[in-house]
Structure 1
Amino acid sequence: MCLSPTCKSGQLHTDESTHMMTCHSCSFRTCALHKHPWHEGKTCVEFDSSESQIERLEEAEETAKLLAKEQSKVCPSCSQGVFKLHGCDSILRLGRCGKGWCYICLARYDNIIRLGPEAHAPTCTNHPRYVPPSRTATEKATSVFRTLVYGGEVSEVTLAVREARNRTREAERRAHASAAAEKRIAETEGLARETGLDSDG
């Protein structure tokens, strides 16, 4: 679908030589790889390496953490985000797909009907032999939300550039902290010498 706010046209992107898709209807250009308006003047790798992409990723991660903390869920069939305010854990005919599922473990409702409570994940409180979820399960849920909020999988280039940037920032922070500590020590020693001279005089 065209990403222009004024166009509802859709088309398939079949040109494998470029990720740039030009709408046949309105000529709006979209990056088929990023599902984002075309990044004029930048290749996809340059776009992935840009500070704006790193900031977008970090915003998506923060949103994902919040959604995971607030117990939001993503429909296992259509990936629509769902937030339950009250009621039981059975999500029936909600979202674009109309499928039913368990709000806690995302087990499909048709499997629950067919197999009974054993269809729930062991980490679901509806499973007969409930086992509390591990930290890994929580991280996985956050990862699912990150992908949903970000709008797709995060580029390895973006992750690598962010990691390098964060290492550089950490090194700069440590150097700054070390310099500040040395300055304080020198000032303290200088003050001690001055105080010692004053008391001697």
Structure 2
Amino acid sequence: MKKLSVVLVGLVLFGALSAADSQATVIFEQAPVGTKNTPASASNSRFNRIAFDDFTLSSASTVTSMTWIGRQAGSGRFEVGFYANSSTLPASTPLFFTTLDAISTQDSDLRSIYHFEADLGAGLLLEADTRYWLSIKYVGDALFPWGWSGDDGGSNLTRSDITGGYSRSQLNLFFSLKSDPVAVPEPATLSLFGLGLIGLSAAGLRRRKAARA
């Protein structure tokens, strides 16, 4: 019974450590500088346009969730894509593409601004120091066409779904990418867990010997 208790304690501590380390880490962010009352790139099915912005990670990471900011359309579905870079444009085929329902929250100061967040499931592993493109397009019905908000002074692309052509505007679009870290237990926790497994194995061996006797 004592050995089994050691195993249970080890499992509890291991689970507690895993839960403590399960918070997603921001691996890339373009946040508003000052006010969020900024221009937006139209990116919606009503106008047949889709906006892109590029980014580079400082270390290889798996993107598992994301947030972004946009104007109008507080609810509905979005198409999200990640693309490799091809001659300063997004590659024709996405590395990852999904249609999802994002959680939306209206801005506390500006009624036309919404904050969005979405889970990407298993996500996508991206390399360090490599240029990628992110696209976000609103595909739900809305009274006002959705736009992806950003600060002046950057550079982003918008592609026409009709012609396939690109146009460029000087916006740093607002988004953040997150990664769920893999929980790595501390040495003390691993030792306790290992002792429990040894104790359980020893108890089983004694029971088998007693049965043969």
TM-score where L is the length of structure 2: 0.25
Structure having the higher strand fraction is 2
TM-score where L is the length of structure 1: 0.27
Structure having the higher helix fraction is 1
